[in-house]
Structures are given as structure tokens and as C-alpha cells.
Amino acid sequence: MDFAEKKNRLRVLLGASRVFQRKGYAKTRMEDLVEESKIGKKVLYEYYSNKEEVLKAAAEYRQTKAAFKLKRIRNNQALDFSKRFVKMRKELLDVCRPSHFALWKELQDQIPEIWRMVKAKRVQLIDTEIASFLEEGKKLGEFRADLRPDLFIMALIACSDAIYKWEQNPTERRANISELDNIFLYGIIRRGKETLKSS
């Protein structure tokens, strides 16, 4: 794959992510993807024969990118564990936006086979990074020994969903995220430790 093709594919995937989040899967047409990515229709069809293929490729790209960021944070030994954990939580909250939840719900309800594929890829890429980080925290004594990564991930997604459903300005939302962090962290950090602060 040459540089021009890589560049075009990236434009398609970034544009597709925006369109799918804005319009949803069912209402998105290949023409919308052409318009958003600003490439020719013929070029788009050379890469992807339908919007399902585009969605799968866009989901994999976004998940791979998120997993790479999480891995970089996890491996950044210049920061102590507490600071890396705060950065990781912020990154995860940034990944989970309201538009993502609407698209996930649509896929889950209407196209379960695509939803299963997207979820399996998330488990393979993102959840694995989170689980590795939580295991490190347990070994360091920062987290409770009985902390289950799968429940941590479910709780974090649920918290993010709840935060974004509120009709608030960004400042109010940030304050509520900090408060939710305090409640959330109280259950997973080792009792009596004050190391993991949300700010």
C-alpha cells in the first residue's frame, strides 16, 4: 500500500467515524462517506464495497488507536502509577462520547452481528490494555486484590454514559466527572490509601 492509498484510507475512516456518529448506521449512505472524506466515489468503492465494510474498518481503526494510546500511558515509566492511572481514566472517558453510545445502541439493537464483532475487537484491544494496567496496580498494592477488570470496565462505561446523558455545560460535567471519580475510586483502591486522586 503506497502513501497516497494510506492517506485516502485514513481520510475515509476518519470521515466515516464522524458520519456514523452524526447520522447513525442506518441513515448513512456511501455518498455521505464520499462527501465527508472528500475522495472520489470510485476510489471509495475500490477500498470498500459497502458501508458495513467501512464501519468495520473504522471501528477497528478507532479501537486500535485507543489501545495504542492506553499502552503508551501504561508503559510511560516517567510517571508514577497514580498519574498514569488518572491519564488512563481520562483517555477512556474521552473515548466514550454520547455519539458513540447512540451508535453502539443502534448496532446492538439492529445489527447484532456487527455489534458482536466491534465488541470482540474492543475486548481484544482495549480491555486487554486496561486489564494489564489493573493487574500492575494490584501487584503494587494500589488496588484491592479482588478487583475484577471486567467489572471495572463495565462500571467505567456506565459512569461515562450517565455523565454524558446529563444536560450540562462542560464545566459542570467536568465537576461531576471528578465527583464520580471519587465515588468510583473509593471502591477499587486499597482501603486507607490516598495515592489515587482524580486531579
pLDDT for the residue 96: 62
| 183 against 194, higher pLDDT | 183
In a domain, 196, yes or no: no
Q: Which CATH number does the domain housing residue 110 bear?
A: 1.10.357
pLDDT for the residue 199: 45
In a domain, 23, yes or no: no
Average pLDDT value for the chain: 82
In a domain, 7, yes or no: no
Contact 22, 99 (CB under 8 A): yes
- Dig out the grid coordinates for 120 from the structure: 470482540
pLDDT for the residue 195: 47
C-alpha distance from residue 110 to each of 3, 105, 146 (Å): 36, 8, 36
Question: What is the arithmetic mean of pLDDT over 154-173?
Answer: 68
pLDDT for the residue 91: 81
Is the predicted pLDDT of residue 18 greater than 80, yes or no?
A: yes
In a domain, 32, yes or no: no
pLDDT for the residue 149: 80
Each residue's pLDDT tens digit, 64-88: 998 999 999 999 999 998 889 888 8
Is the predicted pLDDT of residue 27 greater than 90, yes or no?
A: yes
In a domain, 170, yes or no: yes
**How many domains does the chain divide into?**
1
- Dig out the grid coordinates for 196 from the structure: 489515587
- Residue 53 to residue 102: CA distance in whole angstroms: 20
Domain that holds residue 114: 51-187
- Residue 197 to residue 199: CA distance in whole angstroms: 6
Each residue's pLDDT tens digit, 28-74: 999 999 999 999 999 999 999 999 999 999 989 988 998 999 999 99
Which H helix or E strand runs over 6? helix 3-23
Question: What is the arithmetic mean of pLDDT over 120-126?
Answer: 86
Each residue's pLDDT tens digit, 124-148: 888 889 889 989 988 988 888 888 8
- Dig out the grid coordinates for 21 from the structure: 456518529
Handedness of CA 122, 126, 128, 134 (dihedral sign): negative
Torsion, Cα of 143, 101, 60, 10 (10° steps): -120
3-class secondary structure per residue, 52-72: HHHHHHHHHHHHHHHHHHHHH
In a domain, 10, yes or no: no
- Dig out the grid coordinates for 9 from the structure: 484510507
Q: DSSP letters along 90-110, please?
A: HHHHHH--HHHHHHHHHHHHH
| 85 against 153, higher pLDDT | 85
In a domain, 12, yes or no: no
In a domain, 143, yes or no: yes
pLDDT for the residue 144: 81
- Dig out the grid coordinates for 191 from the structure: 482501603
- What's the whole-model pTM score? 0.76
